[in-house]
Chains A and B, each alone.
Chain A
Amino acid sequence: MSFLAPLFLLGLAALAVPVLIHLTQKERKSVVAFPSLMFLRKIPYESVQRRRIRDWLLLALRLAAILLIVAAFARPFLRGSSVAAAAGGARDIVVVLDRSYSMGYGDTWARAQRAAAQAIGSATAADRISLVLFADTAEVALRSTPDRSRAVAEINAASPGPGATKYGPAIKLAGSLLAESLLPRKEMVLVSDFQRGGWQPDDTLRLPGGTTVTTAVIDPPQAASIALTPVTLLRTREPGQAERVTVTAGVLNRTATAANDLPISLEFDGRVVQDLKVSAAANGSASVSFLPVTIPQQPNTRATVRLGTAAAPVDALPRDNVFHFVIAPSAPVPVMTVSQASADAMLYLSRALAIGEAPRFDATLQSPDALAGDALNRARVILLNDVPVGASVAAKLVTFVEGGGGLLIAAGQRTSWPAARAAWLPATIGDTVDRTRGAARLSGIDFGHAIFEPFRAPRSGDFSTARFYSYRALAAAKDASVLARFDTGEPAMVERVAGRGRVIVYASTLDLAWNDLALKPMFLPFVHQVGRHLSGFKEQPAWLTVGQVLDVDAAEIAAGATSGSAARAAAGRTILTPSGQRRDLTAAVASGGTAPATTPALELAEQGFYEIRGTGRDSGPMIVAASNVALAESNLDRMDPKELVAAVTGNGTSGSTPGGDVLPDEAQELAQRVWWYLLFTGILLLIAETLLAHRYSRARV
C-alpha cells in the first residue's frame, strides 16, 4: 500500500491529542487543597492509577476515528498484490530460475528446483505458468502453459550452466512475458542465490504494474569458495631454440580459513605436465608459477590449470577450480610483395616485414607473373609495387580482396589498372607528377585512421620529412577515404572496403625510386601498420569467458589463414562444443552476392574448448577457443532481495520513473477507492464516540 498524499500522515500526531487531553485536563481540573498529606502518604497506594485511562472504549474510538480520517486524507492506494488480491482472478506466474554456475554449489541447485516447484504448487487450472532460466542471458524454457506437471518437468530437467548471474535480462524477459498476459493477476517468482555481483540497478528494469514479486532465496550451505583467477602467460624465445611459455596461475581464497597445500596442476592436451602445491591465506590470494614449458609445434595446444583433484575437490563449486586456455605458436601473416624491381630495391620493405612480432609477417617477393597463378590464395596481403595489372589479374585481385584479403597498390611509372574495373579502385590512377625540383611532402594525414593512429602523438614520427620526387595523380572515389594528402592537396593514400577485404592505393612507390620514405624511421612502423590493417589481424586472447563472442574470422587470421582458405571456410564451418555437440556456423549471406555480409561470430555458452573448422578441403587452420566461467560468479556475497524487488516494482528508492507502472483505469479506481471507506468508517466512529461520551457524562452527573 502506498499513499498519494503522504504528507497528510503527519496528522497522525493528532493521535496524541485525546490521550493528552484525558490526562492533562483531569489534572488541571481537580487540584484539591488539603491541610496535610500526612495520612495519605501513609497509605500504600500506586498513585499512578489515577492517571490510568478509565474510558478505554471511548479513547479507542477517538483514536481509531482520527487514524482513519488521517489515513483517508493521505489517499492510500493498493498496488501489487493488494490490487491483485482485491481483484481476484487467474494468475500468470513466471518462474525465473537462476542457473548460473554458483547454483551448482553443493545441494543449492536441488533446493532451488524444489523452491521453484513449490512456487507453482498453488497454481490452479486457470493459472498460466512460464519458466525463464537465466544466468548471464535468459531464455524462455516454457511459455504460458496451464500444465503444472510440465512446468515441474522442465524445472527438473534444467541444470546449472557455466554462466554468471545477471538479473537484468531475466527481469526484462519476465516483464515482457507478463506484459503480454491478459490474466488479471501477474506474479513473478524469482528463485536465486541473489549474488550481489549479478545486480546492476537499472531504471529501465520495471515489471508491469500490479505484478507481485516473490523471492525464494537459496543460500549456499557455506557462502565461501576457492577459485582460480585467469592465468598469465610469459612467452620467451631464445635464439635457435623453440618458443617457451611460463604459466602463472592465481588462487583466490574467499573462505575464512587458510587453504594450505592445495594441489594445482598444469595440463597440456589432457596430460598433466606439472603438479604443484599452493597455499592461500584466509580471504587472501596467492599465485603459483609453473616451470617454463616448450610450446608444442602443432597449433592450438589445449592447456588447463586445475585446482584440486577429482577425488579431493577444494570446495563445493568445481567450475571455478578449472581454467582453460590455448597455447599456439604465433602464426605469421602471409604477405606477398609483387614488384618488378630488384630484390635490392625492395630491401627496405622486405627487412621491415621480417622484423614484425605481433603479427609476424611471412613476406615473399614475387614477380608480376606470379599473379597469374594461384599464389594469391596463399597470401593474406598483397603489396603491388609499380606493377601493371591486366584484366585477368585484376579480376583475381578483386576476388582476393572481396574474399577477405588486403591489397596495396603502390603506384609507379609502370602501374596500370584496367579501365573496366577502374571504378572498383578507391582512386583513379592518373598521370605522373614530377616534383624533382621541389619535392612534395605528406601533409593532411588522417591520424584517426588505424594506420596512422600510432603516429598521432607528438614526436611519434614526422611524415613530412619524407620527400616525394614523383607520384601519380590520384582522383579519389566518392565513397573512398583519403588517408593522406600531399602538400598540394592531392590524395597520397586512398582506401576503400571491398567485400570482406580492403584495398589501398598509394600514389608513390614503396622503394626508393620516387621517394625516400623507406629511409625514414617511421617507415618500419608504417609498413607494419599497413600490413596489420590490410590483413585484419587482431591479437587473439588465449582464453575467453562464457558469454563472450568469438570473432571467427579474426581467430582464423591469427591462426594463419590465407584469403583463399578463409573464403572457402566462410562458406561453411563446423563447431564442436565442449559438451561434444556438433553444429554448423554459417554467416549470413548478403543479398545478391556470394560473400557473407556479416562476420561470423560464435557466442560461447559452455566452459571448455570449442573447435571450429571449415568444411571442405583446404579450408584453413582449425581454431580452438578456450572458454572459462566468469570469476565474479565465484563471489557468493548475497544481496538483499528487497532491494531488487523494490527496484523492479517501483516501490524502492533506486530511481523509480513516475508513471513507470501505470495501472489500468479500473484498477486505479479500485486501488484508490480505499480512502472513501476509511473516511466513512472514521465518521461513523466519531458519531459512536459522541453518543458514548454523552452517555458516560450523564451517568457521571
Chain B
Amino acid sequence: MSLTTPVPGAKFIDPVVLARIGNLEFVARTVVDGLINGTHRSPFFGASVDFAEHRGYVAGDDIRRVDWRVFARTDKYYIKEFEADSNSNFSVLLDVSKSMGFGAKISKLDYAKTLAACLAYLANAQRDRVGIITFDDAIVEHVPPSAKHLDVVLHTLDRAKPLRPGHLVAPLKKLAEHFGRRGIVVVISDFYAEPEEVFDAVGPIRSRGNDVVLFHLLDPQEIDFSFSDPASFEDMESGDQMPIVPTKLAADYRALVQAHIDTLTKESSRKQVDYVPLNTSMPLDFALFRFLSMRERLARSR
C-alpha cells in the first residue's frame, strides 16, 4: 500500500492549506461535503437504512413510522425500526503526545485534528453521537458522545496541543471502561509502540463490541528518513539524543518502519480492527475516501 501517492487525476485539498484555516467546522464541512458530492452513496448511509425490527406502538411515537401493511394484516399498530435509526456513539481517541507535534510542513497533530473534525462532522451528519478523548500518557480531555457535542468536540480539537510524552496502553485501558455501549471508536495516533502493546491497548475496547478504527499518522520524513547530514537525533518525548549518520541508517530504518506497518496491518486484520496508515502529505479528503472505501469493502465482506 502506498502511503504517499494520491489517486492520479483527482483534485484533493492540500492538508497544508486546510491547516491554515482556523475554523475546524468549516474545514470539516468543506472536506465532507466535497466528499459526499463526489460519491453517490456514502458507506455510512448505506449501512444505516437496513430494517432492524418491529415493535409495538406506544403513545408519542411518530405515526409516520407506523407500518401500515402490518396493521392491515394484524389490525395492530407496529412501528418499523431501521438500523440507521439506532444512533451509535462515535468517539475519537486523539493522541496529543509530543511526538504528534512533529512535521515538516504540517504537524501530525494538525493533520489529526482536521481528520478528527471531518470524521466527527461526518458522523454527526448521520445523527451519530460524537465525542472525543484526547490523551498522552493520561487522559487530557474527555467529551462524552452526544448528538449535540459537535461544537464541543471541535472546540476541544482546536485546543489540543502536544505537551507531554505519550503512552498508549495506560490511557486506553482506562478508557475501555467508558465504552459500555457499542459504538465506533477511532484512534488517531502515530503508534510509537510495539504492535503487541497497541493491540493490548485497543483490545479491551474492541472486546466490548466497539468498532475500532486505527488511523496511523506518519510524516513523510518518518517514512522516508530523508535526512542527509550526520546529526544528533533527539527523541521528542524522552529528550534522549543519539548521534546518527542518516545515510548509513536510512535503509534499515525504512525497512523497520515498513515492517511495523505491515505488522499492524496484519494484526488488525486478524483482530478485526480497521487500520489506516496515513501519510500527512496525503490530501485529507483522499485519506477519508480511502478509509470509507475500505469500510465499504469490509462491510460487504462482513
- CB-CB contacts of B136-171 with A at 8 A, as 1s and 0s? 000000000000000000000000000000000000
- Point out the residues of chain A lying under 8 angstroms from B231, CB to CB: 29-32
B266 to A: closest C-beta gap in Å: 18
The reply on B36 being an interface residue by CB < 8 A is: no
Given A30-B232, A31-B231, A49:B245 Cβ within 8 A: yes
The reply on B299 being an interface residue by CB < 8 A is: no
* Interface residue from A26, A27, A34, A48 paired with B233 (Cβ < 8 Å): A34
Contact A37 B233, beta carbon cutoff 8 Å: yes
Give chain B's interface residues, CB within 8 Å of chain A: 98-100, 102, 108, 190, 192, 219, 222, 227, 229-238, 240-245, 248-249, 252-253, 256-257, 260
* Interface residue from B230, B240, B243, B253 paired with A39 (Cβ < 8 Å): B253
Chain A 44-79 interface residues, beta-carbon cutoff 8 Å to B: 45, 47-51
Inter-chain pairs besides A35-B108, A37-B235, 13 sampled, C-beta below 8 Å: A29-B231, A30-B229, A31-B234, A34-B235, A35-B235, A36-B99, A37-B242, A43-B252, A43-B256, A49-B248, A50-B243, A50-B244, A50-B245
Give the complex CA separation of A42 and B259 in angstroms. Answer: 13
Give the complex CA separation of A588 and B243 in angstroms. Answer: 94
A80 to B: closest C-beta gap in Å: 50
- Point out the residues of chain B lying under 8 angstroms from A49, CB to CB: 245, 248
Given A32-B227, A35-B222, A40-B253, A45:B232 Cβ within 8 A: no
Contact A37 B240, beta carbon cutoff 8 Å: yes
The 3 closest A-B pairs by CB, nearest first: A30-B231, A35-B99, A50-B243
* Interface residue from A34, A42, A47 paired with B102 (Cβ < 8 Å): A34
Give the complex CA separation of A32 and B240 in angstroms. Answer: 11
Contact B260 A39, beta carbon cutoff 8 Å: yes
> Which of B236, B241, B243, B249: most chain A Cβ within 10 A?
B243
The reply on A437 being an interface residue by CB < 8 A is: no
Which interface class (under 10, 10 to 19, 20 to 34, 35 or more) fits A? Answer: 20 to 34
Contact B236 A36, beta carbon cutoff 8 Å: yes
B227 to A: closest C-beta gap in Å: 7
Given A32-B231, A50-B230, A41:B236 Cβ within 8 A: no
Give the complex CA separation of A49 and B249 in angstroms. Answer: 12
Contact B230 A33, beta carbon cutoff 8 Å: no
Chain A 396-448 interface residues, beta-carbon cutoff 8 Å to B: none
Give the complex CA separation of A27 and B256 in angstroms. Answer: 26
Give the complex CA separation of A495 and B164 in angstroms. Answer: 116
16 interchain pairs (CB within 8 A)?
Answer: A29-B231, A30-B232, A31-B233, A32-B231, A33-B236, A34-B102, A34-B234, A34-B236, A35-B98, A35-B219, A36-B235, A36-B236, A37-B235, A39-B260, A45-B248, A50-B243
- Point out the residues of chain B lying under 8 angstroms from A39, CB to CB: 253, 256-257, 260
- Point out the residues of chain B lying under 8 angstroms from A32, CB to CB: 227, 231-234, 244
- Point out the residues of chain A lying under 8 angstroms from B102, CB to CB: 33-35
> Which of A27, A38, A39: most chain B Cβ within 10 A?
A39
Give the complex CA separation of A1 and B148 in angstroms. Answer: 93
- Point out the residues of chain B lying under 8 angstroms from A38, CB to CB: 192
Chain A 304-335 interface residues, beta-carbon cutoff 8 Å to B: none
